[in-house]
A = this chain, B = another copy of it.
Amino acid sequence: MHTRCGVCPLRRSSAFHPRTAAEIGVIQSLKWRERQLEAGDTLIAEGRTDAPLHTLLRGWAIRFRTVRDGRRQILNILLPGDLIGVQQRMGESAPGVSALTDSTYCVFQTDALWELHRQPRLGLDVTVLMAHEESHVDERLLSVGRGSARERIATLLVMLFSRAKALGLDDGGPGVPFPLTQQHIADALGLSLVHTNKSMRKLEQEGHYEISGGRLHLPEPRRLARVAALFEHTPPPVRPLI
């Protein structure tokens, strides 16, 4: 095991609630190992219902489902601090999780979900994280169900920018890292690749965003948020880290 929870670099971020030493001790005791993946690798195969809990420590990942004929829907984009695998353990159709970038995962032991719930505080934190994740999926469903291509793209860019910034992923530089290809964006938005490309080019030419060297920069986030039109843009809330 590499990182000890007591010195977890994520905990230095103000995006997460502070924790007592006792809580950190419990979490540490449930940590089984760490796993490193390269971009494109699979963390959890679609359909697997026995996967352990993970926390994404470093890098980006996606949660997705596919149809037999190859269509893919990205359900959620995962950033550091996101808890992964609670859905898996619940029976129903289990989505897959795969790495968007080289990334590191904290892997918990098999009974971690139960053990976490033995501590009321940590159990509630699991629930809170689930609620946050669901609100991301709600947001995406609203966007995909009721937005034009333009609005969907704007929504996605604004939200990712804001989430990444809140985590301090912009290490001072302009903009934030942005590892998605247009294919990923299309799969997240329920659009074809070609239409995604055309709509993005237009937004870019209008000066709404700029992507270069794997970084996304929004000159005026408020203006792009106005294009998105679909949601009240509140900054991502501070949340627990497990």
Residues of A whose CB lies within 8 Å of any CB of B are 65, 67-69, 71-73, 75, 86-87, 89-93, 95, 113-114, 117-118, 120-121, 123-124, 126-128, 130-135, 137-142, 144-146, 189-190, 229-232, 234, 236-237
Contact = CB atoms under 8 A, between A and B. Distances in A.
B117 A75 contact: no
A149 to B, nearest CB: 12
Given A73-B146, A137-B141, 19 more contacts: A65-B138, A67-B146, A73-B142, A73-B145, A75-B138, A90-B131, A92-B132, A92-B135, A92-B237, A93-B231, A93-B234, A95-B138, A114-B124, A117-B127, A120-B123, A126-B127, A127-B127, A144-B144, A144-B145
A212 B48 CA distance: 40
Nearest to A74: B145
A142 B75 contact: yes
24 contacts: A65-B138, A67-B142, A72-B146, A73-B146, A75-B141, A87-B134, A89-B131, A90-B128, A91-B237, A93-B234, A95-B138, A113-B124, A117-B121, A117-B124, A120-B123, A123-B123, A130-B130, A130-B134, A133-B134, A137-B137, A137-B138, A137-B141, A141-B141, A146-B190
A138 to B, nearest CB: 5
A137 B134 contact: yes
Given A118-B120, A137-B134, A127 B91 contact: no
